[in-house]
Structure 1
Amino acid sequence: MVFPVLQDKVTVVTGAAMGMGEATARLFAQAGAQVVVADFNDEKGRSVTDDIVANGGEAFFVKVDVSSSEDVRQMIEATVEKYGRLDGAVNNAAITPDDKNVAEFDEDYWDRLMSVDLKGTALSMKYEIQQLLKQGDGGSIVNISSVSGFRPQPQNIAYVAAKHGVVGMTKVAALEYGGENIRVNSVAPGAIDTPMLRGALEQFGFTAEEYAPQLSLLNRFGQADEIAQASLWLISDQSSYLTGTTIHADAGYTAR
């Protein structure tokens, strides 16, 4: 049972067509929110939206490339046109980590990853905060970072840099807008069983069973809905005294 802690709150979730974003959008709808399912993948995004609505939730889909300022601006405009306001957002959109050593990293992939994972998060905050300031009654933003935002991983120079950046940007926004009652926090997931993680394991030649104990004190991968629960708490009024901080949802990985 999910308590209606987001009843009638308008929330945007980017990267909501699959994985952690999808789980977050579904959980928010169950918690009573009006959910904007935002993703570049039109087919999967609409499928998630239709399923939320079929199960009694309130949601609509917006196609967005978060690396495009115009796309993100239109995403927020569409949200306000549909629901009249914005109360919170989870900036989750990201692409698969890179896989080259520093001396061999792919500059084109660096640019693409930075444009989505780092710039996309910054653009999302830009237009979300503009709307929250117009409304004048505060709000809550969650940026999805990673354990890679705190501990380096080999062959992930772009992803590690981007996720460190997400943590830093979260703190800057919290400093700048706390006085306006706009809370900005981040969640740093560890190894979560998503299509992105499965693809990375295949790419590096590992199985889930042999790799999970290296990344988790609980000897298992996390589930997407476990990360969604962290975002739910941060968006809700139950976390009203938190801003500028990070929840490490990583089964103790960064505590080793």
Structure 2
Amino acid sequence: MIRSVLRAQRRNVRAMSTKYPARGNRFEGKNIIVTGAAGNFGGVCAKMLAAEGANIALVDLAVDKLPAVQEEVEGYGVKARCFGMDLTDDTKVKNMVAEVKAEFGTIEGLFNNAGYQGAFAPVDQYPTDDFEMVFKINVVGLFSTLKYTAQVMIDQGNGGSIVNTASCAGLGCPTLMAAYGSSKAAVIHLSKISAIDLAPHNIRINSISPAYIGPEDGYMWNRQVTLQAENNPTNAPEYYFSNDNDTVAKQMIGSVPLRRAGEVEEVINAALFLLSDESSYMTGVDLDISGGNVIGGARG
């Protein structure tokens, strides 16, 4: 009786507190790690999970930005803790997962989201050190986080759900993005292999592949538009992209059958579905969240 009253009180706090209303209790009492929690995808995911009752371990290299996210997450009446982390250091990743386990008691889910877009350049001019860094963060760091979280889940014996952030850049072949596109293709394949390896433990591994996510005046959108325009070696709009920012933006939206940029919440809705028991018979799946970008013959 007391527990049910406390749950109701927590739901009331969530409903009144911050941007995302309580839409249910799919994650009530579950403890979930969110990497890249200081960024758009990670921060929104943490808050939307909290709105449905999850306790959140917030992980990011930008540790100075985490307290603001923590405050918003705790506004939903759940527990949140911050963990500053360089995901390229395997030992630190292992220790971080152990600290989360010690702090929260159990780990039921992981949104494996930290990533780095890297440089924009033709493959013959792409800087090798940046190529290596993209893979260290997007593939090796993601692998380490998945590996050590899976070990905890196996020891717990209750299964779990892990969602890796890939990209439609890993499904198509985006010009000037040799490192990022290749790294995200690796994430998609790693997710499928991991799904097979971990299925006997009832640990589900899936991935999401967004493309062209707004707001259209946001940092990531502007960065991609600007760098595609600046680094297009052909200056031939009919071939890849223009050298003019406004034209590039129109070309990008023009390659999306739905003719608009996606919203962060549309991406995170898919992640929450895969993290939840609603997708309990899904593993090894990559969800294309691109407004039809890939099937529409997109550039990436």
Shorter-chain TM-score: what band?
over 0.9
Q: How does 1:186-197 map to 2 (within 5 A)?
A: 186-193=207-214, 195-197=219-221
> 5+ unaligned residues in a row in structure 1: which ranges?
none
1:145 to 136, 154, 166: 166
Distance 1:68 1:10 in 2: 23
Counterpart for residue 7 of structure 2: none
Partner SS, residue 212 of structure 2: coil
Higher RCO (C-alpha under 8 Å, 6+ residues apart): 1
1:235 partnered with 2:275: yes
Counterpart for residue 202 of structure 1: 226
Identity of aligned residues (%): 27
Counterpart for residue 55 of structure 2: 34
Letter of the structure 2 residue corresponding to residue 80 of structure 1: K
Distance 2:178 2:92 in 1: 27
Is the Cα contact below 8 Å between 1:191 and 1:215 reproduced in 2? no
> 5+ unaligned residues in a row in structure 2: which ranges?
1-20, 230-244
Q: 1:215 to 1:48 in 2, by over 3 A?
A: farther
1:246 to 264, 280, 286: 286
> Aligned-pair distance for 1:50?
1.6
Q: What per-residue deviation string (whole Å, max 9, x for no partner) do you get for residues 17-66 of structure 1?
A: 01111111111111110111110001212211122213433211111111
> Aligned-pair distance for 1:165?
0.1
Is the Cα contact below 8 Å between 2:89 and 2:141 reproduced in 1? yes
> Aligned-pair distance for 1:197?
2.8
Is the Cα contact below 8 Å between 1:39 and 1:63 reproduced in 2? yes
Q: How does 1:45-194 map to 2 (within 5 A)?
A: 45-193=66-214
Distance 2:89 2:255 in 1: 34
Partner SS, residue 32 of structure 2: strand
Distance 1:136 1:192 in 2: 37
Structure 1 vs Structure 2 CA RMSD: 1.4
- Structure showing greater radius of gyration is 2
**Aligned length in residues:** 256
Distance 2:45 2:291 in 1: 19
Q: 1:215 to 1:131 in 2, by over 3 A?
A: farther
Is the Cα contact below 8 Å between 1:11 and 1:88 reproduced in 2? yes
TM-score by length of 1: 0.95
Is the Cα contact below 8 Å between 2:256 and 2:292 reproduced in 1? yes
> Aligned-pair distance for 1:152?
0.5
TM-score by length of 2: 0.82
> Aligned-pair distance for 1:212?
4.3
